[in-house]
Structure 1
Amino acid sequence: MNYKNETLRNALAAEYVLGTLRGGARRRYQQLMMESQLITETTWMWEQYLNGLGQNVQPVEPPASVWQAIERQLGLADDSADSNVVAMPAAKSSRPVVWQAIAGLATAAAIILAVVLMPATPPVKAPVTDIAVVTDAEAKPLWLIEISTSTLAVRTTANLTARTDKDFELWMVPADGGAPISLGLLPEGGQLAISRPDWFDLADIAALAVSLEPNGGSPSGAPTEVLYIAPISAV
Structure 2
Amino acid sequence: MAESEQEQRILQAAEYALGTLEPRERSRFETQLMHDAEARRELAYWETRLGALGLALRPADPPAAVWDRVTRELGLESATPVAQNSETSARHSRSAANDSGPGMWRGLALVASVAALVMAGFLFTGSTERSAGPESPAAPAYASVVYDEPTGMSWLVTAHANSHKMTVVAMGDYEVPEGKVLRAWLKPENGEPVLLGKWPNTHGDHEMAVSDTAAQHMNEPAKLMVSMEDAGTSAQASVPSGKLMWTSPIARRTG
Report the TM-score when normalising by structure 1: 0.48
Report the TM-score when normalising by structure 2: 0.45
Decide which structure has the larger Cα Rg and report it. Answer: 1
